[in-house]
Structure 1
């Protein structure tokens, strides 16, 4: 699209785009390299593997729940570009810790680095959306948001594929080298993000995690449209987190395939989200609206159900053997399976991008970072609960495939909240006009 492509040539957008892309790439490179290393080389028990996947996902998300309120306050009270540069410097230190964990195969070190990566992403998260209305014209915000989302999922694609492939082919040492190298390049790109000073007078920052989180969420969620948008987005990310938890153990224990196929799964999912992100801007033609969200997430749920039926009828290998990438591709059901997975992701991208654009354009520029931070608090809380629910269901003997029903049910709830948001926006338009 011309508008989107033009933004990629502008300094007011391109350095931010590259920096957030590299950050998402590195998070997923490290996380997936760690998961593949643990599931395929350290553990050998389907239930324990699923539980580790759940715990690692929850640990990465937990900082968003604990620290988003402080992150939002800092972003609204300080130059956002300076925070980006500081956070990307910390990423280099975190990458050193994670690299040591990979090389030593130390689960405590790897989980510590994963939690720290979640923390630095927490402080970057509100900024990457809140800075857009400050640097872009109003009619460019949806396109910019779509590009950020698409870039994020392309980065997830690259990171997950590379993380799995490097560990499988070259070993953990080279995965560690990649993690450190990408962190350094990300810090260089952050240097070129234009200044983004605060849009209001500086206020005292409340560093009490629980009090500031309560005040932040309470100060945002009383606005009905913001409340509905945040709840809808939260259910979407809960769905996404549960799906991503399921992919590695599903691929190994149900589809009986090797790490490269697990990387392919996450890669296809990421491509689909990116496609959906761009399609949403095409369909809405730059208009910030929730009208396509309810149907999009219903379609997503339908694809999830199809994914379940394909999985339970899958004919895997026996005696502990695994399909390699070629063997999986040649399987009679592989292309249908990948097509359904792509459908899940495209529908998800079409659902979530307009809602993020809605959050950043509904409030005053001085409040955008806090609004995104409030969204992150609620999102992350729901995602942690989703991960814990998946963990608990696993302890109760509910299989990976059976948990796909949980995902489909959450799609229905998310669609309902998106419909309420769409109706609320329609009701307020005459008053605004």
Structure 2
């Protein structure tokens, strides 16, 4: 078995792992606190709440679509460790704005900070995967990628739990988020300290892919994006991997956007149950991320992608079946203990866990594949091209979701979109397996 945990004891991996862990933790601490505050403390209308969740998801994703080409060029042309430190310094400033929004209950400020965190993640995203082949051996990359992905989702779990806990209710029924405002600032500061220990990762001198844009900077974001995506997607194996990853993130975007309104309006439960759902999903992806490395024994490949995608779809279909037949509760929202005492509540949790484990097993080998099948000089731009396509499909998915909600489609029915997409993802995963394994 490939033991990747030893990487956590090395300077070449631990500082990066810690930095990305804290970044993901803070993203989700802020986003969860924001969503809980708005859904439970500001808005009082189901359609408004579902629309806000979808818009918030789209705003966070949009920078990936607009700026990933620039981020990839910068990462491949400069020392990635220097960019890490710049990005983490910017996070402190962004969280000052976010904390103000939480304190003032100001939705525009909250959305502005969310968009800025999307920009932050856009510039950090290519680095956290592209730096691995520079600091790790080829046999360690799948394990390192799995740890990064597992760490990210454990961080999502921690940030989600803390974000839900720190938005509390006063005696008069109103909600406040003062503690969450303080927490996002502290985590940003600690993340900047961790980023200072990431070892140097200067531009690689390996030969570039024929047909790839040269390493010089193109500051025209639309032209650079088109050039980068077209140069990457004409390579069949990269095309299949990127499209498969994009389907995974599109499905995840729909699920994540709908968890709070699904819990409140379909399952009649409060924010503690919404936090549980987000936490279970995070744990599941972390489990799947580590498990697939053991199943593949450190060998990068798409052998388990088709079965994993189909498993996701089956669990989502069962979740849909249970949500549709969920009994009404007479207007009172269930807390966590009341929800878990209901018939079939644990099966809903199992369905969520199954979706997430299968998702982790599906996506981790695909990221490792992207970073190990191109020269080190192209890894950041390959991840950037992947992020552009991912974010474009996620924005389309959230727009479809928003339009469907406005047209009267229930949150529960939107789960069928995810189930249908999983079949397409399985087919693409099968094509990639045939092409590469």
Q: TM-score, normalised by structure 1?
A: 0.97
Contact 1:165 1:259 in 2 (8 A): no
1:197 matched to 2:209? The reply is no
The structure 1 residue matched to 2:256, chosen from 222, 244, 249, is 244
Which residue matches 2:300? 288
Quote the offset at 1:72 in angstroms. 0.2
Which residue matches 1:430? none
Quote the offset at 1:260 in angstroms. 1.0
Contact 1:269 1:345 in 2 (8 A): yes
Which residue matches 1:158? 158
Which residue matches 2:290? 278
Partner deviation per Cα, 1:33-67 (whole Å, 9 max, x = no partner): 11111111111111110000000000000000000
Contact 2:98 2:110 in 1 (8 A): yes
Partner deviation per Cα, 1:287-337 (whole Å, 9 max, x = no partner): 100010011000100000000001011123213x11111111211221111
1:340 matched to 2:355? The reply is no
In structure 1, distance between residues paired with 2:436 and 2:315: 28
Gaps of 5+ in 2: 171-175, 207-213
Which residue matches 1:8? 8
Partner deviation per Cα, 1:375-418 (whole Å, 9 max, x = no partner): 00000000010001000000110000111111101101111111
State the 4+ residue runs in structure 1 displaced beyond 6 angstroms: none
The structure 2 residue matched to 1:314, chosen from 322, 326, 332, is 326
The structure 1 residue matched to 2:230, chosen from 218, 221, 230, is 218
Partner deviation per Cα, 1:110-159 (whole Å, 9 max, x = no partner): 00000000001000000000000000010000000000000000001111
In structure 2, distance between residues paired with 1:174 and 1:424: 51
Contact 1:77 1:200 in 2 (8 A): no
Which residue matches 2:141? 141
Quote the offset at 1:169 in angstroms. 5.3
Equivalences for residues 347-386 of structure 1 within 5 A: 347-386=358-397
Which residue matches 2:191? 186
Quote the offset at 1:243 in angstroms. 0.3
1:266 matched to 2:271? The reply is no
Partner deviation per Cα, 1:182-204 (whole Å, 9 max, x = no partner): 00000000000000000139943
Task: Classify the secondary structure of the residue corresponding to 2:9.
Answer: coil
Which residue matches 1:431? none
Gaps of 5+ in 1: 427-433
In structure 1, distance between residues paired with 2:143 and 2:216: 34
Quote the offset at 1:168 in angstroms. 2.6
Contact 2:142 2:299 in 1 (8 A): yes
In structure 1, distance between residues paired with 2:105 and 2:205: 47
Contact 1:168 1:259 in 2 (8 A): no
Quote the offset at 1:164 in angstroms. 1.1
Quote the offset at 1:361 in angstroms. 0.2
Which residue matches 1:118? 118
Which residue matches 1:257? 269
In structure 2, distance between residues paired with 1:57 and 1:309: 25
Quote the offset at 1:108 in angstroms. 0.5
